[in-house]
Amino acid sequence: MDSSGGQRSQPILMKLDRYHGWMQDLDLLRLTASEPLSLTEEYKLQQAWCDDEDKLDDPSLAEIEVMIAEAGNRGRGFGKEATAIMMHFGMRTLGIKTFQAKIGVGNHPSLYMFRNFAFEEVARSEVFQEVILQRTVTSEWQSWLQTTLGSITEESYTESQARRTARVML
């Protein structure tokens, strides 16, 4: 996803302080089925993930996770838009053929959102109180998603940062 060679993990690691602040919220921990971690543990976890050679055991299957961290920004269409954009990128650029979402049984907003994206339940764990919703990419579904999204333009992280800086300076 990042073409900067040896610096691949940097964008993820730089954002962790803010992410860690969000993950102090008990409600968010529950909704995302996350454990409370110290900032040092967050860094170690992200680094381990970046270094993990086995994470792509099936490169055509992607687990999709989305979080609108600040409660005041939920219900405004951002989650839907971010999810559609990630799936669009996953299909077109990474060749993803199947998306999966693991969602807590009581997380109704998330369940509604993924069902609205035509995901279907494929498994349910009583132990983890979690359902797995899945969507296989078909040409019909891809066209429908494209219509939902409208026109979007892909650009690199570096390009978008440069554009933002230029806008601030104007």
Ligand X SMILES: CC(C)(COP(=O)(O)OP(=O)(O)OC[C@H]1O[C@@H](n2cnc3c(N)ncnc32)[C@H](O)[C@@H]1OP(=O)(O)O)[C@@H](O)C(=O)NCCC(=O)NCCS
**Interaction site with ligand X (CB under 6 A):** 31-32, 65-68, 74-80, 101, 103, 107-110, 112-113, 116
Residue with tokens 């976890």: 45
Q: Which is nearer to ligand X, 62 or 103 (CB)?
A: 103
b/e code 139-168 from CB counts within 10 Å (16+ = b)? eeeeeebeeeeeeeeeeeeeeeeeeeeeee
* Rounded least distance, CB 59 to ligand X, Å: 22
Query: According to DSSP H, which parts of 32-152 are helical?
Result: 39-51, 78-94, 108-116, 139-149
* Rounded least distance, CB 101 to ligand X, Å: 6
* Rounded least distance, CB 158 to ligand X, Å: 27
**Measured at CB, which residue is nearest to ligand X?**
79
Q: Which is nearer to ligand X, 46 or 81 (CB)?
A: 81
Residue with tokens 């990419």: 137
Q: Which is nearer to ligand X, 32 or 91 (CB)?
A: 32
Q: In what order do the strands lie in the sheet with 120-125?
A: 61-63, 98-104, 130-136, 120-125
* Rounded least distance, CB 31 to ligand X, Å: 4
Q: Which is nearer to ligand X, 9 or 115 (CB)?
A: 115
